[in-house]
Structure 1
Amino acid sequence: MNINHLLRQIAGKCRYLNRQLLICHYKRCLYQEVERNKGEKVVYLFSNPTHSNLGDQAQTVCILRWFATNFSQHKVICVPMDFATPKLLNLIETRLRSEDILFVHSGYLIYNQHPHLPFICEVVKRYKNNKIVIFPQTVLLTDKDVILRTQEAFNTHRNLILMCRDEVSLSNAQKLFTCRTLLFPDFVTSLIGNSEFAFGNKRADILFVLRNDGEKYYSDEELNNLKSKFTDLRIDTTDTTIQLGMSKWISHRDDIIKDYLECFSHYRLVITDRYHGAIFSQIVSTPTIVLSSADHKLSSGVKWFPKEQFTNYIAYANDLDEAYQLAICFLRQGEIPFNESKYFNENYWNKLYGMIMGINIV
């Protein structure tokens, strides 16, 4: 056996064992955290990520910020699926009070193969006496068995709110479920317009933020052909999935996300087929061209950005030829100011608490 191959195998097994040890440690800590709580009002967040997808982790940052603003009198307890033992779920059930509220993390969790969907269904079925809010989702279910199991959970809960992050998902949800639905943008849009992310860096070159999974629409050859047309500019390529240990995310999540956003602020233009690649770019006011993915997530998601506030900052390309033409237009417009528009907070996130709690907020 090749020695390098053997070393890689050993390193991989060591990483796996280290992750399992960490999971055992965090399971104990989480159980103790729930057990210690005797009288505080609690907000529970289920299915928050432990993996290294920057878009998912950025959603966690935004959700926790929103909790801090709107549920400052509540204790926040995060329950990742990896840490949620039956013993823990039973303990939560015995400790729940009427004023406790349960939330499910946002993302693309409601589709056929997602490993979190059965866990979400279990949460909804188990805790029927408390309000549950599922934060903005892309919804795409086609498997009949999965649909039936999800309907069994969702349609029997009398106080469930399902938030959808695009009109296609909303339509899909309303055809399948009887619970209350809300149309809301992705949670990371709550950072757009925040001067905390006006880094003031000098801009140069183009950044491609490209996925490499089943949601990819264009081939590497097609994308490389697009890159080759920009002969006078350096091209960098990255993704929103990185290699980083679980403990780093738990202890340094905010700093990691802010550092990554700062990186986006160095470029004149971003071209991406990652939805959060597009949102990250808008947070730091980097002009962005959005490419198609294999599903409706990008084509629907980009519709959230109204022309009045974002005409010089973001555009959707129907094909790669159009992407190149849009890129030339963006590059010719020169430096543009930081976009201070509070559109998403004023129209959505500042109003969400009242919509959930039944309070009119002007």
Structure 2
Amino acid sequence: MTTMRIADSLKRFLRPVYWWYHRQWEHHLERKRRLRKWREIVFPLGQKVYLIGTPSHDNLGDSAIVLAQKAFLKSCGWEEDRIVELTDEDYARDWERIRKWVPKNGFIAQLGGGHLGNQWRNEENLHRRQVSAFAKNRNVIFPQTICYLPGEDGDAEGKASTEVYDGRKKLTMVAREKQSYDIMTSLYPNTRVLLTPDIVLSASMDTFGAKQKRREGVLLCLRSDKERSLPVEERENLEEMLRSKGIAFGYTDMYSGQKVTKQSREMQVREKMEELASARLVITDRLHGMVFCALAGTPCIAMSSSNHKVRGTYEWISYLPYVRYAKTPEEVERYLPELLAMENCRYDNAPLRPWFDKLAEVVRKDAHN
């Protein structure tokens, strides 16, 4: 009995001691983590370019944008150790420190994509925060789709966005399709706006380390999120049409099903691109499903999503004979024989280079002034 009382007394005494030391250890690790992050942002001394909020979610189109944007920055003269990537987890944990640690000569290269507007609020807020926090820094928002869904909320958010984006002398906004360009120039007449294709179209399969594959079968790469516009009945009709023609098909999506890290990003994007490169034909309503096919030389029929970005991006690459845009399943059926017969297709972005050159000129000028 005495031994048990002594043991209980020791436990009561040692438990708070243990937790005190545990908390001290956690504080120590957190201080070390913050020190590493500070060094990453500040050193080496001199001008650097910052990509803030790179995604860890499993949408591989967004991951491809990060890789292509980094490659584009390198082509503009930025060395690897001058490109600082801060992930969405860094942003969530350390935003107040990041905004203090990024120097005034830091060049902010905001991520391209389809985030501007009231459809993807977290991403839109990230862009607004960077513009406001780094008002004295050179700041470029890489090619973006902007879309304010109709209704009071869309109108109100569009007006609110002008307070953030309009009149910023050190900000350049880049639209990735004509409709987005028209919206931006209308909402933000006092801010420089460029028109440039999706940044992934400036890349090639080599950018992602992807290889050509033996082609067979048809892949359906269709949305299931809030940008989905193809009704279930039309999707079923599409599948039945393929079956009636004896065309074997499978399913894929632009999601990896797992978290994306800095270390795994290139591998995951490469695997998805090679999957699409292994098909004889891809039918997709995903913008980067279409873009991956363009880079891979995979015949592709693109269909619209709930906004203008797929159609607008297709207009850039409509010169590619192996990519077609269909408004209805009937048009998909009409394009099938032509595209299934195509072989040895190759991506050539020469018609797009003048547009990328304009962006490169701004990046070089802004980054080194």
The partner residue of 2:111 within 85, 91, 105 is 105
Residues 195 and 294 of structure 1, relative CA distance in 2, 3 Å threshold: closer
Deviations 1:221-254 (A, max 9, x none): 32122122223221101111231124xx221211
Indicate the residue corresponding to 1:342 in structure 2. 349
Deviations 1:168-225 (A, max 9, x none): 1111111111210111111111224759777342211100001102211112232122
Counterpart amino acid of residue 254 in structure 2: T
Superposition map of 1:1-362 within 5 A: 28=34, 31-34=37-40, 37=43, 39-73=45-79, 75-84=82-91, 88-98=95-105, 100-114=106-120, 115-141=122-148, 143-177=154-188, 178-192=190-204, 194=206, 199-231=211-243, 232-246=246-260, 249-307=261-319, 310-311=320-321, 313-331=322-340, 333-334=341-342, 336-343=343-350, 346-358=353-365
3-state SS of the aligned residue for 1:250? coil
Counterpart amino acid of residue 328 in structure 2: D
Residues 230 and 107 of structure 1, relative CA distance in 2, 3 Å threshold: same
3-state SS of the aligned residue for 1:109? strand
Indicate the residue corresponding to 2:12 in structure 1. none
> Unmatched 5+ residue regions in structure 2?
1-29
> Unmatched 5+ residue regions in structure 1?
1-23
Counterpart amino acid of residue 114 in structure 2: Y
Deviations 1:297-316 (A, max 9, x none): 11222101142xx12x1010
Counterpart amino acid of residue 85 in structure 2: C
Counterpart amino acid of residue 222 in structure 1: E
Q: Give the deviation of 1:350 after TM superposition.
A: 4.4
Indicate the residue corresponding to 1:3 in structure 2. none
Asked if the contact 1:125–1:157 (Cα under 8 Å) also holds between the matched residues in 2, the reply is no
Q: Give the deviation of 1:128 after TM superposition.
A: 1.4
3-state SS of the aligned residue for 2:200? helix
Asked if the contact 1:193–1:340 (Cα under 8 Å) also holds between the matched residues in 2, the reply is no
Counterpart amino acid of residue 45 in structure 2: G
Residues 29 and 212 of structure 1, relative CA distance in 2, 3 Å threshold: farther
Asked if the contact 1:195–1:340 (Cα under 8 Å) also holds between the matched residues in 2, the reply is no
Asked if the contact 1:192–1:344 (Cα under 8 Å) also holds between the matched residues in 2, the reply is no
Deviations 1:32-89 (A, max 9, x none): 3446526132101123211110100010111111222324346111233432258544
Residue identity over aligned pairs, in percent, reads: 23
Residues 350 and 25 of structure 1, relative CA distance in 2, 3 Å threshold: farther
3-state SS of the aligned residue for 2:279? coil
Asked if the contact 1:193–1:341 (Cα under 8 Å) also holds between the matched residues in 2, the reply is no
Residues 26 and 116 of structure 1, relative CA distance in 2, 3 Å threshold: farther
Q: TM-score, normalised by structure 1?
A: 0.82
RMSD (CA atoms): 2.7
Asked if the contact 2:42–2:103 (Cα under 8 Å) also holds between the matched residues in 1, the reply is no
Q: Give the deviation of 1:90 after TM superposition.
A: 4.3
Of structures 1 and 2, the larger Rg is shown by: 2
Deviations 1:303-335 (A, max 9, x none): 01142xx12x1010121101111112212x24x
3-state SS of the aligned residue for 1:230? helix
Residues 56 and 70 of structure 1, relative CA distance in 2, 3 Å threshold: same
Asked if the contact 1:206–1:268 (Cα under 8 Å) also holds between the matched residues in 2, the reply is yes
Q: Give the deviation of 1:131 after TM superposition.
A: 0.8
Q: TM-score, normalised by structure 2?
A: 0.81
3-state SS of the aligned residue for 1:134? strand
Asked if the contact 1:139–1:173 (Cα under 8 Å) also holds between the matched residues in 2, the reply is yes
Q: Give the deviation of 1:273 after TM superposition.
A: 0.4
Asked if the contact 1:285–1:339 (Cα under 8 Å) also holds between the matched residues in 2, the reply is yes
When the two structures are aligned, how many residues end up with a matched partner? 328
- The worse-fitting range, judged by mean Cα deviation, of 52-61 and 86-95 is 86-95
